[in-house]
Homo-oligomer: A and B are copies of this chain.
């Protein structure tokens, strides 16, 4: 197949949707045929996102108005909770469509966990059972054949990329993981909340959702699976006065005589052939500036001064590898394209 693959973006008036459009416009095989945003239906994209006003794009419509016959793949950037029924409807009526969900709706495999953290029953359990967790480097084979991919949250992406190989390899004590997470403000979306105003978030630093952030069960699900143990992690997010970027500092206890160098070697081995995941050499520390606007993830390991402990640091751009970029990476797999297609842009720095 060499023609264009037609894509629709649900929730195109949010940051995740906009970044998907940005990437799609640079993707040689994508053609954007549908953009939905219920509260902005009828508007041109330029009215909602002026930075996308220099290219031709379909007008925003409601979900109902979208012409699914002209869509081969759907990227969904709707708020969690609204996605389940829409997904069901789209997939029921258009079984050939591939659905790449950037919302939280299909990430948690255990319905009870979902209910506990999201406060209501899951409304599409059959699809949940079918959904493949879209952490590309770790679910590549399943993603290739999937019809419904649940892209991970931004924090889980950054965290799991650095911890999964260590948990799977038995190199760290998974019962003692502390994840101090820091995110730019775009992680909170484009909603009008007081704490997201420039005047409130600027020149300041705030922890939030401490002990109750919904990305915790997602991280635990995957580390539990990798390690074979039922894991609870400490996950503590902080809001940083920058627009993009995410850095997770994980504090881990090493098993047996494992050293920090062993961790670095294991990560290097795990990601040796990866285009987007990079393990920093000893002495080099990741920083979000390195990945801004790109699909890269960078991981560094430092020995703790406390014997038997190490510090694992990972960075991503929360809107790219943490959302729209990873979605495109999964799309490439699902449509049998080179995995890096449309994602070769390096970071924008400064």
Chain A residues engaging chain B, CB cutoff 8 angstroms: 15, 18, 22, 25-26, 49-55, 178, 180, 182, 184-186, 190, 192-194, 196-208, 210-211, 216, 232-234, 236, 238, 240-245, 247, 249, 251, 278, 284-294, 296, 298, 302-306, 309, 311, 313, 315, 344-350
Contact = CB atoms under 8 A, between A and B. Distances in A.
Contact of A251 (B178, B193, B197, B216): B178
A64 to B, nearest CB: 25
A245 B278 CA distance: 30
A350 B15 contact: yes
A232 B306 CA distance: 6
15 contacts: A49-B349, A54-B290, A184-B203, A186-B350, A192-B192, A197-B198, A199-B243, A200-B350, A203-B292, A203-B350, A204-B242, A206-B289, A210-B311, A241-B242, A348-B348
Given A203-B244, A203-B245, A350-B199, A210 B292 contact: no
Given A53-B290, A241-B240, A284-B50, A234 B309 contact: yes
Contact of A344 (B26, B289, B293): B26
A208 B283 CA distance: 10
A347 B204 CA distance: 12
Contact of A204 (B25, B194, B208, B287): B287
A202 B304 contact: no
Most central of A22, A186, A289, A345 by chain B CB within 10 Å:
A289
B233 A198 contact: no
Contacts of A247: 205, 207, 238
Contacts of A290: 50-51, 53-54
Contacts of A15: 199, 350
Nearest to A217: B305
Given A202-B202, A204-B287, A236 B196 contact: no
A285 B207 contact: yes
Nearest to A231: B306
A240 B205 contact: yes
B193 A348 contact: no
Given A182-B205, A201-B198, A245-B203, A306 B345 contact: no
Nearest to A320: B348
Given A203-B289, A289-B203, A251 B251 contact: yes
A124 to B, nearest CB: 27
A243 B182 contact: no
Contacts of A208: 285
A313 B237 CA distance: 12
Contact of A185 (B184, B199, B293): B199
A221 to B, nearest CB: 14
Given A242-B241, A245-B204, A346 B52 contact: yes
A303 B241 contact: no
A206 to B, nearest CB: 4
A267 B19 CA distance: 30
Contacts of A232: 305-306
A238 B311 CA distance: 13
B234 A305 contact: yes
B242 A211 contact: no
A294 to B, nearest CB: 8
A54 B253 CA distance: 29
